[in-house]
Amino acid sequence: MKKTWWSLPLGMMLGLLTAGLVLLMSRPSRGASVLLRPPPTPLPLVIAVDGCVRSPGVYALPRNSRVRDAVQAAGGYTAEADTRAVNLAAALEDGDHLIVPERGQPAPAGAGQTQDLLRSPTPASDRFPIDINHASQEELESLPGIGPVTAEKIIRYREEQPFTMIEEIQKVPGIGPATYQEIRSLIRVDK
């Protein structure tokens, strides 16, 4: 049997084609591509700043801001400000109301978070623990970490469903485990 000259190149081509098909078939399949999105931007803290600052008003500050940041946002202190009465390192919460007092003047009463943000003596032990089902807005605001907004939330919550035990206060928006740990010895629920 006589071989023709074209059988060798044809055999090589068929071999290469077969090898290519085997490689193509054995290649692992590609999965769907993953779309990576940036993490959501946290909402800013909205803080009211009043008293002896250059530009009193309401300011939006980034999360984890401190009193120092709020004072800077309000243009800094005026010449009359009692700078030693303000704890610049205190952490801020959404809805806080910071009042920078005038030198020689007592800290304003009923200023929400002012009692937490300014240096003030610890509350008198005869006022605590307070009954969270019957406490006034002012009494609730005297608790560490509870400002006017959170006090209103507590009141709204208890009007719909009175507290049966102190742990339930954590169901109020804005009161997490850290705040609860600060206030748990200062609150009670009367039956």
* pTM of the model as a whole: 0.41
Measured distance CA(11)–CA(16) in Å, rounded? 9
Helix or strand run (H / E) with residue 158: helix 148-160
DSSP-derived 3-state class of residue 173: coil
Measured distance CA(108)–CA(155) in Å, rounded? 23
Domains and CATH numbers, the chain: 45-117 (3.10.560.10), 125-188 (1.10.150.320)
Percent of the chain with pLDDT over 90: 29
pLDDT at 108: 55
Residue by residue, DSSP assigns 35-72 as ---PPPPPPPEEEEEEESBSS-EEEEE-TT-BHHHHHH
Measured distance CA(95)–CA(113) in Å, rounded? 9
Least confident of 10-14, 24-28, 186-190: 24-28
Q: What is the pLDDT of residues 52-65, one digit of tens each?
A: 999 998 898 998 89
Q: What is the DSSP letter of 121?
A: P
